[in-house]
Amino acid sequence: MPRTARDVVFVDGARTPFGKAGKGLYAETRADDLVVRVIRELLRRNPGLPPERIDEVAIAATTQIGDQGLTIGRSAALLAGLPRSVPGYAIDRMCAGALTAVTTSGAGIAFGAYDVVIAGGVEHMGRHPMGEGVDPNPRFLSEKLVDPSALVMGNTAENLHDRYPSITKERADAYAVRSQEKVAKAYADGKIQQDLVEVLVRSAEQGYGLATADEPPRPGTTLEGLAQLKTPFRAHGNVTPGNAAGLNDGATGAVLAAEEVAAELGLDARMRLVDFSFAGVEPEVMGVGPVPATEKLLARQGLGMDDIGLIEINEAFAVQVLAFLEHFGIADDDARVNPWGGAIALGHPLASSGVRLMMQLARQFAERPDVRYGITTMCVGMGMGGTVLWENTNWEGNAK
């Protein structure tokens, strides 16, 4: 029989605190155990969801080896105690892994193949540095399919500064300071903590403890301090550790459901998935990827940027966010953009970050019934961008 698309809703999200790669919070914690902790927390927070009603577990990881391998969606589902009847899979779209896990499994819900899914991502950059085990085809360089700088993300950010000369280092640093300040305020106001799940951690020096807060934020960051940092990707360049996201560990997860199934089970419907779009750009300026992805999406929906009341954009690099804002004529300090700060302060464990953006947007929607639409968007390595359009189920216009 012909199928009609069903509405897909974001029910809930949870994440581990993000740690610093190397000797940070999760130096002695497995990546798959971080995913297990998130899955179990989602079930604890949503007692109306019978585990056997979960139709799929889609977990992203960029480096799918070691404790991030073995089809991590399925292995984490088993480790979390889900019924053996619940399948799972792994997915990779680099930084947009979790975002793609949501759009792919969400499309399955809309089609009718699933009723409820768990989608998320993990990256343990301490155990698995970006690029570990990869073997780029020599044709990329020998046939000049990409510029050599395309294979180093920091170099692509420097290239973006070249393309947008109006985006100076000072402007990027100023954006980074605001991100730190917004995260500090969000923590002080109790905005971030409600989506975090405590993780048992261990270190040789301190024994056992609990990870309860993000490790990367640097409260008190100043323009003067950032001005002193070195530019590791180019002599006298613009990109520094202060105006870019760091190397981080962490996991995220979300429950998505068909809207009528969420109602049947008594689950929250925090926001509605409207549409999504991915686009490719020149790999050497991968940071501009959110621009065409967003343009495609808005054009298809007949919307303009003025219709978007909240923008959660991943802060891989300050220049990448500023390029997006400049293209759409949005001020650097527009209140719609990352109201609670972003990855420059919170961290960016690659494949996990897309769902963090969604969690923050869903919380902001709950506080802003005047806002109907919001987007989550991010750039992706090898020259891509992805954008998801969400509708606020709490929008005051629904009552009219």
Residue 124 a catalytic site member: no
Annotated catalytic residue, options 124, 128, 161, 348:
348
Question: Residue 379 catalytic?
Answer: yes
* Catalytic residue (choose from 95, 124, 128, 161): 95
How far CA 375 is from CA of 215, 346, 391, in Å, comes to 26, 19, 9
Q: Tell me if residue 161 is catalytic.
A: no
So which residues are the catalytic ones? 95, 348, 379
